[in-house]
Amino acid sequence: MQKAFSYRFYPTTEQESLLRRTLGCVRLVYNRALAARTEAWYERKERLDYVQTSALLTQWKKQDDLQFLNEVSCVPLQQALRHLQSAFTNFFAGRAKYPNFKKKRNGGSAEFTKSAFRWKDGKVFLAKCNEPPNILWSRRLPDGVEPSTVTIRLNPAGQWYISLRFDDPRDLTLQPVDPSVGLDVGMSSLITLSTGEKIANPKHFNRYYKRLRKAQRSLSRKQKGSRNWDKARLKVAKIHQKISDSRKDHLHQLTTRLIRENQTIIIESLAVKNMVKNRQLARSISDAGWGELVRQLEYKAQWYGRTLVKIDRWFPSSKRCGQCGHIVERLPLSVREWDCPKCGAHHDRDINAAGNILAVGHTVTVCGAGVRPDRHTSGGQLRRNRKSQK
């Protein structure tokens, strides 16, 4: 199974100088290739691919004003062109938007394949570097395993990270357990379990909001591009990074606990990109990190031999009575508790939804199909059904 472990590392002055030059060259090559492909299409209706942009890179290295491209390893530059090709492939397949130009303030990354680094005695020796970087080993790679790809990344807060990708031969499957659980995500409670337990939402952004607001106000008073502006920008970026790290750490602890305690985890398939278009809820949804929660559950379930079931997002889990199955017409978000008009059962909105998700998840597991009542079928599904009938 392919895995990647990420570590913080602290380069020396010489290493940082070389790595920053490498990131700058990667950014330049990527942006030039993107500009060349865009210009070729709009001016000549011609599509350039990886092979043609690679030939352009060879020509750029021969130019007098671009001789510095020869001072860094050629592998990250070629990998940048491959990443651009993947970005265009995703764009033409409808999975992503048109590629954007890379910006220096966002940091950047450089990917080294096996020909551009050496793994010796548990240390990484990058091309053009005489000494291995000082890596903070939070966990070691499995015995006898060597990384196939090394990625160096600089985040906007000025922190350096190294990611080691490898093929893990270990079998980490956990012992089977009986419990299954349904999860209902929310904002007041991050998730509600079908067992009735509610996990509070830490609201990491709100914890740092005052510090962030003060730092951003200080940044707005600085002249853009000045040295003081760059220092103030770095302070803002560090606060954002701290919020992100706190959120990820909490989600890692939560998802690991869920994976260990349950054999089957059932959750709704969420369209977070569409949900954040609501201006009133966008910040709260983004701060909750629902997308990251589902992502972690997916790969951890694969690692440890658990089952993750996603039910249809249009299933009325909150509106459906868990006792008799009656579906109410309307249930605003402000209503946290309600009584079923048919059987009179009293429901907590989130606990009832989690119980319904668990029940319908078992149906999905047995039948191998999604669950969507006819009255809640979307227009897209109706069109697909009509096409299949034809």
29-68 residue pLDDT tens: 999 999 999 999 999 999 999 999 999 999 999 999 999 9
Confidence of residue 379 (pLDDT cuts 50, 70, 90): very low
Structure tokens at 345: 């059962």
Write down which residue in 167, 202, 219 finishes a domain: 167
The reply to whether 374 falls in a domain is: no
Question: Do 76 and 195 belong to one domain?
Answer: no
Pair 255, 334 in one domain: yes
Q: Report strand pairing: 264-268 vs 180-185.
A: parallel
199, 312: one domain: yes
Q: Which helix (H) or strand (E) holds 320?
A: none
Catalytic residue among 111, 268, 287, 312: 268
352 & 229 share domain: yes
Q: Residue 383 in 3-state DSSP?
A: helix
Does a structural domain hold residue 57?
yes
Q: Are 145 and 187 in contact, with CB atoms under 8 Å apart?
A: no
Which residues lie across from 184 on neighbouring strands?
Answer: 192
Specify the pLDDT at position 378: 39
Six token digits for residue 369: 């199909």
On whether residue 383 sits in a domain, the answer given is no
Positive or negative, the CA dihedral 373, 379, 382, 384 is negative
What would the mean pLDDT of 332-342 be, rounded to a whole number?
87
- Does residue 381 belong to any structural domain of this protein? no
Residues 208 and 286 in one domain: yes
Distance CA 249, CA 3 (A): 19
In terms of domains, do 151 and 184 share one?
no
- My answer on whether 318 and 275 are in the same domain is yes
- Angstrom distance (rounded) from CA 141 to CA 43: 50
105, 194: one domain: no
Does 281 score more than 70 pLDDT? yes
Number of H helices, E strands in the chain: 11, 14
Out of 16, 65, 184, 337, which one is annotated catalytic?
184
| DSSP run (H or E) holding 142 | none
**In 3-state terms, the chain is what percent helix, strand and coil (to 5)?**
50, 20, 35
- Kind and range of the H or E element at 371? none
User: What total of structural domains would you count in the chain?
Assistant: 2
Q: Enter the tokens of residue 89.
A: 């492939």
Q: Is 230 annotated as catalytic?
A: no
- Residue whose C-alpha is closest to residue 21's, from 62, 64, 77: 77
Domain end call among 141, 167, 193: 167
Share of the chain above pLDDT 90, in %: 74
Distance CA 246, CA 38 (A): 39
> From the centroid of its chain, how far is CA 12?
30
Whether 7 and 61 share a structural domain: yes
218: which 2 tokens? 């200080």
Q: Classify residue 375: in a domain, yes or no.
A: no
Pairing of strands 307-311, 264-268: parallel
* Average pLDDT of every residue of the chain: 90
At residue 24 the predicted structure's pLDDT band, cuts being 50, 70 and 90, is very high
The closest alpha carbon to 354, from 179, 184, 181, belongs to 184
Identify whether the C-beta of residue 287 lies closer than 8 Å to the C-beta of residue 203: yes
Burial class (CB in 10 A: 0-12, 13-18, 19+), 271: exposed
Tell me the mean pLDDT in the region 131-141. Answer: 93
Structure tokens at 162: 């190294």
Helix (H, G, I), strand (E, B) or coil at 150: strand
Residue 376 lies in a domain: no
Q: What is the DSSP letter of 99?
A: P
User: What pLDDT score was predicted for residue 362?
Assistant: 79
185 pLDDT band, cuts 50/70/90, is very high
Report how far residue 199's alpha carbon sits from residue 54's, in angstroms, rounded to the nearest whole number.
Answer: 51
Indicate which residue of 111, 287, 312, 350 is catalytic: 350
Q: Do residues 135 and 193 both lie within one domain?
A: no
Q: Are residues 122 and 203 in the same domain?
A: no
CB 163 within 8 A of CB 5: yes
Contact call for residues 264 and 361 (beta carbons, < 8 A) = yes
Decide if 268 is catalytic.
yes
Q: Which two tokens stand for residue 337?
A: 């508790």
Give the domain extent around 218.
180-367
Q: Where are the alpha helices (DSSP H) in the chain?
A: 13-44, 50-62, 74-92, 204-207, 209-220, 227-261, 272-275, 282-288, 290-304, 349-367, 379-389
- Which residue among 136, 167, 198 closes a domain? 167
**DSSP letter, residue 116:** G
Q: What is the largest CA-CA distance in the chain?
A: 82
The predicted pLDDT at position 78 comes to: 97
Interatomic CA distance for residues 129 and 143, integer angstroms: 25
Query: Are 105 and 246 in the same domain?
Result: no
Is 25 a domain residue?
A: yes
Residue 84 lies in a domain: yes
